[in-house]
């Protein structure tokens, strides 16, 4: 079922306008495509299923996929009885790394029969994912001389696997190898494959070391306009890959905007691209995504950067979380996006403790356009329009409602009311500007959703159009309804930087927030990283706006989303992995989280753009990533397979469900062997404490490893902000390490004070800080408790 198409209906007050905007590339292509192509192929009642097989019944071959597939084909032949074996099922992929089993085209009856087999753990119909510079690297403190870059040689011994829409290396210097770059590490087994439009010999090098495609699952939903290829027909994959590890490209810019040297977070690291998403108005199927992750694990990548998300209701149903579980046990760090559904309550995605879930924040740069009204008032518009038409003369201003469409939908504006005018649209996607242009308008001012607060997105318009904040939009709307209203754009194409910008970083309004709806005790998102107005490489196969009617092609594009925040963390993790080869993925994540910062460049707490108020752990996780400090965190919180199994046991998962994640066979007493830990005892570098009653006392245990240079370090604890309405007892209150034992345990007992009963608040936050005088190991604390039961008034 092409779920992504549901997202294309933009209605006023839509809860997810930003998700829609980010899917621009997909939307446009959908619009341009004959409608029937968007429908799944009605192939009888056959659809794609993921079949999870118990390890003890799985073929014992891992790298030889042809043999695996033959084995699963005969398994199907032997298992399906005469009555239901037609039409003969076909296997799309067989998997040994990202999950154990295969993806096949089956009828519902065949699927049900398979699921009843003892050798089969689960059979799930596949779903479709949504896809969710360069100044970001200097903003992050990643100069050629910064400690993390020098200690890791820019991450040159690491390969980052990018699971996305492919890569566009033609004429893109971001993916060029410099002549000092040797071959990739020997542990990497991947390669580039050729296609008619992708010459692996020509495009691949010591920078782009892998390029493969997995698009069979997608072919059942629609025809790609091109033969299968690693080439990026969308732009998203190219953008994300160059954010993670693009080589430095001087004088990069987007129509003059954001001019400077564009480079990835780990500009020395290698890129292996796995194309699993289409560029034809479609997201990514679960079978293709699993195939990409499967291949990347088999190839031996060091980091997996997966900028796509899916909101399954259980970890064992989510192929990215399953694949990530396996990857992490192979020592691969996995970063995933929080999602772009903010600022609503608790829509955050990527909820497992074994992935690093990244939210999006701003940098100290904005693309502003002064909007002047006839009444003399000036507002700040945001836009990446760079047309050369000399603007600046007043034009009549008309409200979209009075011209046929409040949100300026294409085809709905009355040209006789719009011609030569600037139109105010209440909210709108990229194509609102297009709609105004089509109707003969001179420009568009587009309001933002109410939930966005102070945020208005600078979009890659190809028509004079700007976004304004909700509050400004309302004033402009009111003015547009006065007689003879006029407006003008003072000038396009300015970049305000540094002191001229508001404090940064701020949490982007669209960045999805906690709490974690599956496991509230695991704080999500984990961290924030730059995800607003990021310049990075773009495909030559699609326009920067993603609109099909936009014929422009660019080498660099500016884009926003948690998809863009995620590869920043992937690049940083790749460098950490090189600089600290003995750290596990959990320890790398711990180092990133406990050293993250919480103050903006004005010295105040990092703000949430949606509310203008201080952001808490549900908005920013542990804080903003601080790459160089992550190199020397002092203490780290580790987690291994045993801990993750204990964790899923504490969630109440059955042995079958656990086996889906681990790739083992169901072990009936697995959880009693793992002791009776509570979910909150998972060794996470953050505390999310969920009170069910006011009187509860909640104890959570943790273990920390000393990775500082002083083996005899002594750590004492404090809180970042004084507890108000709650208390916590830390035991022991001092951690005395010695050379023989670098790992120590402690526990914290949280309780609420009676005052919270009468408070209107149901949440408090602070942070637990361990310090030895040199390091500060900071773990966010967030406590939630039930709202007071309203007293029943007697009338
Ligand atoms: C691919 O590129 C290489 C190197 O530029 C060239 O020698 C080869 O002929 C090309 N192959 C095809 C099929 O175009
Ligand atoms: C895909 O293309 C093939 C051959 O052109 C055609 O038979 C098939 O119906 C197409 N499928 C869809 C979903 O458009
Ligand atoms: C806009 O006009 C409406 C109706 O007159 C009024 O209620 C509202 O306060 C005005 N809003 C602004 C921002 O001026
Ligand atoms: C190190 O200390 C921890 C916690 O106090 C303890 O559980 C562990 O057994 C100790 N390990 C060694 C090798 O002494
Ligand atoms: C809460 O409010 C009730 C009623 O106003 C009062 O009787 C009680 O003492 C208050 N409790 C606390 C802990 O302040």
Mutation choice for ligand 2 from 34, 223, 228, 280, CB with most ligand atoms inside 8 A: 223
Q: What is the pLDDT of residue 303?
A: 98
d(CA 107, CA 116): 15
Lowest-confidence pick of 194-208, 389-403, 694-708: 389-403
Average pLDDT over residues 445-461: 87
CA atoms within 13 A on the CB side of 564: 28
Q: Which ligand has its closest atom nearest to the C-alpha of 758?
A: 5
Beta-ladder partners of 752: 726
Question: What count of Cα atoms within 13 Å lies in the side-chain half-sphere of residue 225?
Answer: 17
The Cα 583–Cα 743 span in angstroms is 14
199 CB less than 6 Å from ligand 1?
A: yes
d(CA 102, CA 540): 34
> Who wins on pLDDT, 317 or 40?
317
Highest mean pLDDT: which range of 19-33, 140-154, 190-204? 190-204
The residue ranking higher by pLDDT, 346 or 602, is: 602
Question: 759 an active-site residue?
Answer: no
Tokens of 362: 């701003």
User: Catalytic one among 156, 164, 545, 590?
Assistant: 164
Indicate the pLDDT class of residue 645, thresholds 50, 70 and 90.
very high
Q: How confident is the model at residue 223 (pLDDT cuts 50, 70, 90)?
A: low
Confidence label for 568 from pLDDT (cuts 50, 70 and 90): very high
Atom index in ligand 3 nearest the CA of residue 474 equals 13
Mean pLDDT for the stretch of residues 484-501? 77
Which atom, in ligand 4's list, is nearest to the CA of 703?
4
User: Average pLDDT, stretch 30-49?
Assistant: 48
Q: Strand locations in 228-291, DSSP E?
A: 249-254, 257-262, 270-275, 284-285
Question: What is the rounded distance in angstroms from the CA atom of residue 589 to the CA atom of residue 527?
Answer: 9
**Closest ligand 1 atom to 194 CA:** 13
Give percent of the chain above pLDDT 70. Answer: 88
Paired tokens of 766: 């602070």
Spatial contact of 306 and 165, defined as CB atoms under 8 Å apart: no
Confidence of residue 380 (pLDDT cuts 50, 70, 90): very high
Q: What is the DSSP letter of 664?
A: S
The protein residue whose alpha carbon is closest to atom 14 in ligand 4 is 741
Instruction: Tell me, yes or no, if 669 is annotated catalytic.
Output: no
What's the 399 CA to ligand 3 centre distance in angstroms? 14
Read off the pLDDT of each residue in 334-345 and give the average, rounded to a whole number: 88
Residue nearest to atom 12 of ligand 5 (CA): 755
Buried b (16+ CB within 10 A) or exposed e, 119-136: ebbbbbebbbbbbbbbbb
Q: How many other CB atoms are there within 10 angstroms of residue 794's CB atom? A: 4
- Mutational pocket test of ligand 1: of 199, 211, 231, the residue with most ligand atoms within 8 Å of the beta carbon: 199
DSSP letter at 247 equals: P
Q: Three-state SS across 342-410?
A: CCCCCCCCCCCCCCEEEEEECCCEEEEEEEEECCCCEEEEEECCCCCCCCCCCEEEEEHHHHCCCCCCC
For residues 78 and 21, the model is more confident at 78
At residue 423, the 3 state secondary structure works out as: strand
Annotated catalytic residue within 236, 239, 568, 765: 236
Mean pLDDT across the stretch 622-641? 97
Pocket of ligand 2 (CB under 6 A): 37, 41, 222-223
pLDDT at 647: 96
236 belongs to the catalytic site = yes
The pTM for the full model equals 0.89
Residue 743 has pLDDT above 50, yes or no: yes
Measured distance CA(239)–CA(235) in Å, rounded: 6
Q: Which atom, in ligand 1's list, is nearest to the CA of 199?
A: 1
What Cα–Cα distance (Å) separates residue 684 from each residue in 586, 622, 643, 703?
Answer: 9, 11, 10, 9
pLDDT confidence tier of residue 9, bands split at 50, 70 and 90: very low
pLDDT at 137: 54
- Cα(126) to ligand 2 centroid in Å equals 21
Out of 757, 759, 789, 793, mutate this one to test ligand 5's pocket (max ligand atoms within 8 Å of CB): namely 757
Average pLDDT value for residue range 397-426: 92
Mean pLDDT score across all residues of the chain? 87
Nearest atom within ligand 3 for CA of residue 471: 13
């Amino acid at each position: 079922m092409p779920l992504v198409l549901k997202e294309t209906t933009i209605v006023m007050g839509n809860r997810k306008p930003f998700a829609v905007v980010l899917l621009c590339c997909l939307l446009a292509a959908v619009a341009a495509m004959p409608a029937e192509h968007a429908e799944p192929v009605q192939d009888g009642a056959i659809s794609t299923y993921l079949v999870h097989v118990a390890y003890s019944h799985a073929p014992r071959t891992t790298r030889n996929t042809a043999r695996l597939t033959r084995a699963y084909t005969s398994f199907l032949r032997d298992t399906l009885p005469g009555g239901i074996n037609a039409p003969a099922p076909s296997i799309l992929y067989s998997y040994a790394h990202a999950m154990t089993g295969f993806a096949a085209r089956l009828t519902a009856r065949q699927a049900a029969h398979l699921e009843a087999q003892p050798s089969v753990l689960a059979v799930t119909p596949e779903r479709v994912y949504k896809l969710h510079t360069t100044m970001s690297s200097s903003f992050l403190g990643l100069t050629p001389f910064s400690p993390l870059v020098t200690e890791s040689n820019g991450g040159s011994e690491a390969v980052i696997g990018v699971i996305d829409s492919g890569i566009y290396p033609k004429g893109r210097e971001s993916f060029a190898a410099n002549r000092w770059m040797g071959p990739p590490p020997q542990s990497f087994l991947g390669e580039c494959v050729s296609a008619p439009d992708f010459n692996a010999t020509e495009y691949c090098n010591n920078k782009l070391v892998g390029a493969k495609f997995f698009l069979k699952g997608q072919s059942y939903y629609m025809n790609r306009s091109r033969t299968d290829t690693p080439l990026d027909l969308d732009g998203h994959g190219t953008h994300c890959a160059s954010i993670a590890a693009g080589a430095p490209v001087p004088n990069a810019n987007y129509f003059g905007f954001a001019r400077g040297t564009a480079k990835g977070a780990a500009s020395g690291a290698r890129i292996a691209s796995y194309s699993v998403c289409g560029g034809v108005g479609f997201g990514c199927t679960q079978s293709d995504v699993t195939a990409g992750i499967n291949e990347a694990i088999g190839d031996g990548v060091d980091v997996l950067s997966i900028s796509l998300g899916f909101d399954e209701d259980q970890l064992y149903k989510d192929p990215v979380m399953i694949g990530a579980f396996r990857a992490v046990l192979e020592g691969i760090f996995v970063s995933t996006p929080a999602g772009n559904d903010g600022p609503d309550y608790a829509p955050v995605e990527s909820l497992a403790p074994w992935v690093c879930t990244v939210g999006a924040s701003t940098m100290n740069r904005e693309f502003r356009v002064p909007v002047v009204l006839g009444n003399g008032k000036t507002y700040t518009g945001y836009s990446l329009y760079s047309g050369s038409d000399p603007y600046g003369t007043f034009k009549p201003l008309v409200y979209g409602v009075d011209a046929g469409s409040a949100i300026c939908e294409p085809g709905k504006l009355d040209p006789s009311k719009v011609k030569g005018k600037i139109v105010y649209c209440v909210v709108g996607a990229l194509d609102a500007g297009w709609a105004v242009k089509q109707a003969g308008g001179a420009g568009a001012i587009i309001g933002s959703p109410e939930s966005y607060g102070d945020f208005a997105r600078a979009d890659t318009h190809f028509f004079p159009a700007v976004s304004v904040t909700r509050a400004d939009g309302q004033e402009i709307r009111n003015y547009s309804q006065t007689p003879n209203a006029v407006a003008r754009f003072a000038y396009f194409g300015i970049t305000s930087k540094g002191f001229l910008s508001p404090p940064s970083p701020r949490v982007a309004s669209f960045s999805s927030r906690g709490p974690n709806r599956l496991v509230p005790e695991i704080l999500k998102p984990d961290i924030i990283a730059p995800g607003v107005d990021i310049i990075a490489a773009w495909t030559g196969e699609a326009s920067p706006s993603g609109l099909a009617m936009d014929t422009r092609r660019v080498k660099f594009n500016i884009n926003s989303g948690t998809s863009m925040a995620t590869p920043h963390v992937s690049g940083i993790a790749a460098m950490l992995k090189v600089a600290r080869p003995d750290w596990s993925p959990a320890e790398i994540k711990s180092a990133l989280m406990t050293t993250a910062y919480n103050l903006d460049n004005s010295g105040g707490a990092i703000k949430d753009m949606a509310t203008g108020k201080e952001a808490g752990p549900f908005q920013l996780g542990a804080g903003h990533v601080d790459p160089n400090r992550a190199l020397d965190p002092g203490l780290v919180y580790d987690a291994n397979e045993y801990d993750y199994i204990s964790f899923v046991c504490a969630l109440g998962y059955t042995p079958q469900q656990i086996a889906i994640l681990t790739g083992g066979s169901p072990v009936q007493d697995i959880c009693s062997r793992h002791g009776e830990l509570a979910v909150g005892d998972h060794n996470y570098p953050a505390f999310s404490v969920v009170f069910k009653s006011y009187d509860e006392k909640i104890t959570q245990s943790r273990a920390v490893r000393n990775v500082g240079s002083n083996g005899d370090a002594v750590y004492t604890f404090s809180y970042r902000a004084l507890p108000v309405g709650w208390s916590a007892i830390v035991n022991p209150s001092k951690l005395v390490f010695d050379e023989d034992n670098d790992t120590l345990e402690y526990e914290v007992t949280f309780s609420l004070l009676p005052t919270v009963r009468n408070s209107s608040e149901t949440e408090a936050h602070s942070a637990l800080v361990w310090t030895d005088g040199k390091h500060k190991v900071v773990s966010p604390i967030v406590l939630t408790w039930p709202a007071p039961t309203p007293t029943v008034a007697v009338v």
